[in-house]
Amino acid sequence: MAKSDHLYRRTANRILEALESLEPGEPAPSEAMLTQLCGVSRSPVRAALQHLVQCGILVQRGHERLLARVPSPADRFDETQVHSPADHVETVFMDMVLQQELAPGERFTEAELARRANTSTAVVREYLIRLSRFGVIRKRPRGSWTLMAFDAAFANELADMRYILEMAAIEAFAALASDDPIWADVDFMIERHEDFAADFEARFHTFSTLDQEFHRLIISAKHNRFFADMFDVTTLIFHYHFQWGKVGEKERNAVAIAEHLDILRALRAHDFVRARENLARHLAVARNTLLHSVDPGARSDLPAGGATAALPRLTEGPAVGEG
């Protein structure tokens, strides 16, 4: 079963919970509201809503979807349908890293992770082997692994890959039709960032989730499954280093919010040259921040005339943008 299938089914279950408070004939929450409620993009929300219409729970009336009948427990997807074992292992592993339960250089075992994820060691081993191809972890004897600490060379290589992926993806926006659903996602992402900025003092420490959603939106324009796989790996590495680097976190996140909005507003205005320049600047700042988190004395290996050549503001002070 594809990862997207599990996501839309989880989303459908979450929407069913939201519908339980409604009476038949009342309108369901808007797509924008459900996207925020479920913490996903509009694509799985739309797939879930289509499923609920087909099941007779919702009925389409013009631009609204009305509750046709009160949902029952039988309408929900069961746990085996909403979480694949591999998805759950990935979630558990990333949580261990991002919550600093697993530090660079520390060993862990397949059996330990299998217990945490309540799955078999075979499923865990398959996931870890896939992840190890990117140098994130290293195999040790007797079913143990080590989370790698990264040097400046690895960080530069990772940032190179991220630059290639996201710059190719942002070019794809120019080819999209004006009625493509992604433009509604861009609008909603702008709203999310503006709301976050308005409540920044209380929320700045939770920025990583919004940052991940922003970069996933950029990558989604390319419709490339290999891009999506690489995105998961780069996100894991960038964010777990930022999680450990708490010094300057508030300032980094404030700058990153502003940079995200510059990119999003340029996209919405269909000013793709400006969007590309803004993204290049943002990725260069993220590269420098990652390098500093790995080795405070490290320098970017971008060649002369590369991405930083057109980014004079980067030389005016220390790099502070997160991701």
- pLDDT tens, 261-286? 999 999 999 999 999 999 999 999 98
Q: What is the pTM of this model?
A: 0.62
Find how far residue 66's CA is from the centre of its chain: 31
- Ranges of residues in the chain whose predicted pLDDT is under 70: 1-5, 79-84, 98, 236, 239-247, 294-323
CA nearest to 193, candidates 267, 246, 276: 267
Cβ-count burial 80-100 (b if 16+ within 10 Å, e if not): eebbbbbbbbbebbbebbbee
Residue 252's CB: how many other CB atoms inside 10 A? 23
CA nearest to 54, candidates 73, 64, 40, 68: 68
Q: With contact defined as beta carbons under 8 Å apart, do 3 and 130 qualify? A: no
Q: What is the pLDDT of residue 272?
A: 96
Sign (positive or negative) of CA dihedral 94, 225, 4, 253: positive
CA nearest to 121, candidates 173, 85, 80: 85
Residue at token pair 């839309």: 8
243 in helix, strand or coil?
Answer: helix
Separation CA 202–CA 297 (nearest Å): 32
Q: What is the pLDDT of residue 84?
A: 67
Q: What is the pLDDT of residue 311?
A: 32
Encoded tokens for 124: 């865990």
Q: What is the pLDDT of residue 308?
A: 35
Cα radius of gyration (the chain): 21
The pairing of beta strand 137-140 with beta strand 107-109: unpaired
Separation CA 269–CA 234 (nearest Å): 28
Beta bridge partners of 27: 66
Separation CA 217–CA 169 (nearest Å): 9
Q: What is the pLDDT of residue 280?
A: 96
Spatial neighbors of 248 by CB under 8 A, at least 6 apart, are: 320
Q: With contact defined as beta carbons under 8 Å apart, do 156 and 301 qualify? A: yes
Separation CA 29–CA 34 (nearest Å): 6
Q: What is the pLDDT of residue 141?
A: 92
Q: What is the pLDDT of residue 211?
A: 87
Q: What is the pLDDT of residue 139?
A: 94
63 in helix, strand or coil?
Answer: coil
